[in-house]
Amino acid sequence: MPNRHYPSWRLNVEVDAAAKGHLPIAMASPRHYLIEYKPWSIWYKDIKMSTNIRKDIYEIVHAYNAKTYWESARHTSREIVNLVDWEGIDTSMKEVPRHQNTFVTKHVVGMCGIGKFLKRWKERETVECPQCLTPVEDSVHVWRCPHPKASALWYRSVDNLMIWMENINTSWDIMDAVQTYLHSWMTDTSPNVDIPEDLLSAISAQDMIDWGVSLKAGCQMSGQLLNTDTTHFSAHSVPEKGGW
Ligand SMILES: [Zn+2]
């Protein structure tokens, strides 16, 4: 308990000064010793801690909760959540600026500058889409808005995606399937394309994950689809700015 004649602000100042005084001593004579060889290994359940212990700990602390969130938010199962190429997303997210990651994350979870939230934040009078006047503008509607301006942007964006996929030597079959399935998701119609035998399993995995979530800057693409044939898009690079 601080003495009432001795104000707490003065204690803070003194403690802070003492800590700063100790710092040079601690740096000059560290109390941690470097062990030259590996005397033991550390395990958490069936995960062996690697030299990149920061990544391991981050995964143990956050991966379970993140996957549980997606399981609940998408009303899906852990098996389907595990179909997502999380490693690929990790790589892609690190390749774009932090503010872009923040934007993508907000859009993926649906909490961004859309009618639903702008009304709640008192920045807009109504929740309806300002373009097509659909009663509720949510993050999915942003992609599916039927207004001619929004549709034009959609088709231009898919074209840009195709150009990018072509530039990284994606097979025509995969491009054809991705383009068709994206358009069918956008228009809520059945995809009309012949899927080659070797792509069926990958397409089916993406079907289960949902094509809609795959749009958000390459988020939540199936690992199978990403690694089919010679294609490794998203796992190793992301579209140029303005592509998606
Ligand atoms: Zn709209």
With b for 16 or more beta-carbon neighbours within 10 A and e for fewer, the 102-115 pattern comes to ebbebbbeeebbbb
Using the mean position of ligand 1's atoms as its centre, give its distance from the Cα of residue 131 in Å: 5
Q: What is the pTM of this model?
A: 0.64
**Residues within 5 Å of ion ligand 1, judged at the Cβ atom:** 129, 131-132, 134, 145
Comparing 77-81, 155-159, 208-212, the range with the smallest average pLDDT is 208-212
- 103-160 residue pLDDT tens: 888 888 888 889 989 999 999 999 999 999 999 999 889 889 999 999 999 999 899 9
- 224-239 residue pLDDT tens: 555 554 333 333 333 3
Share of the chain above pLDDT 70, in %: 83
Instruction: Please give the Cα distance from 35 to 144 (Å, whole number).
Output: 58
Using the mean position of ligand 1's atoms as its centre, give its distance from the Cα of residue 186 in Å: 12
Distance of CA 113 to the CA centre of its chain: 18
Instruction: Please give the Cα distance from 205 to 221 (Å, whole number).
Output: 9
Using the mean position of ligand 1's atoms as its centre, give its distance from the Cα of residue 97 in Å: 29
Q: Where are the domains of the chain?
A: 85-226
Using the mean position of ligand 1's atoms as its centre, give its distance from the Cα of residue 117 in Å: 15
- Compare 39 and 77 and report the one with higher pLDDT: 77
The total of other beta-carbon atoms located within 10 Å of residue 183's CB is: 17
